[in-house]
Structure 1
Amino acid sequence: MKYVILIHANPDPWGHPTSRYNPEGRALPAEYHEKADREFEALLGELSASGEFVTAEALADPASATLYGWSPEGHLVTDGPYAETKEQLAGFFLIDCETRERAEEIAARFAQPGGVVELRPVMWPGGDDQ
């Protein structure tokens, strides 16, 4: 089953990896980030080797977004960001796992200082929302 891992963060300035650009991450020593980078590369290698990695993308600054809405009078176009919240969607990973437990194990490894990771099953026509 496919799952999306959504990375929410509030880097300032916007940048990736987001943990290097938020207050929590900046408070950590360089050694922490170097170790985290090695562990992340190892995780991506593991997911690629197992066939669980499908795709991933980092997203640009939410301020660069354009929003398209609908109303009976016509389409509405406004500048982003969409959410009026502190954390924004910074990127996503699409994985394909045998079980939800495995997806949860992987998602937990994406947790980072100053960010939130969301795991959500991917829907398909006629599929369950579990």
Structure 2
Amino acid sequence: MKYVILIHSNPKPWGHPTDRFTDEGRAVPTAELDAADRAFDGLLAELSASGELVTGEALADPASATVYRWRSGESLASEGPFAETQEHVAGFFLIDCATRERAEQIATQFAGPGSVAELRPAFVWE
């Protein structure tokens, strides 16, 4: 089953990896952040080798976004992030796991200082 891991963050200013740009991340010693980066790279290598990592991408600054909403029978574009929250999607990973439990084991390793990881099953079209 495929799952999406969405990374939500509120870095100031926007940048990647987001934990280097959040208030919480800046409070962590650089050596610890570097160790966490190496561990995360190892996780991605493991998931790639096992075939569980389908794809992933970091996303650009939310200020560069265009939001489309349906209004009065047509799609209207608005520039910039108009989410009702300070946190925005910073990136995503698509994984393919045998069980929900395995997906949860993986997703717990994606949250970092100042960010939240959301695990959501991909919709199955029938």
- The TM-score, its normalising length taken from structure 2, stands at 0.96
What is the percent sequence identity of the aligned residues? Answer: 64
Q: How far apart, in 2, do the equivalents of 1:77 and 1:2 lie?
A: 31
Indicate the residue corresponding to 2:9 in structure 1.
9
Residue deviations 1:28-50 (CA, integer Å, cap 9, x gap): 11111110011011000100010
Instruction: Give the gaps of 5 or more residues in structure 1.
Output: none
Q: How far apart, in 1, do the equivalents of 2:121 and 2:82 lie?
A: 22
Indicate the residue corresponding to 1:61 in structure 2.
61
* Residue 6 of structure 1: how far off its partner (Å): 0.2
Indicate the residue corresponding to 2:41 in structure 1.
41
Per the alignment, in what secondary structure is the counterpart of residue 34 of structure 2? helix
* Residue 81 of structure 1: how far off its partner (Å): 0.3
Instruction: Give the gaps of 5 or more residues in structure 2.
Output: none
Per the alignment, in what secondary structure is the counterpart of residue 56 of structure 2? strand
Per the alignment, in what secondary structure is the counterpart of residue 60 of structure 1? coil
Per the alignment, in what secondary structure is the counterpart of residue 36 of structure 2? helix
Q: How far apart, in 1, do the equivalents of 2:84 and 2:120 lie?
A: 22
Residue deviations 1:39-81 (CA, integer Å, cap 9, x gap): 0110001000100000001001111111112223533111120
Query: Cα RMSD over matched residues?
Result: 1.0
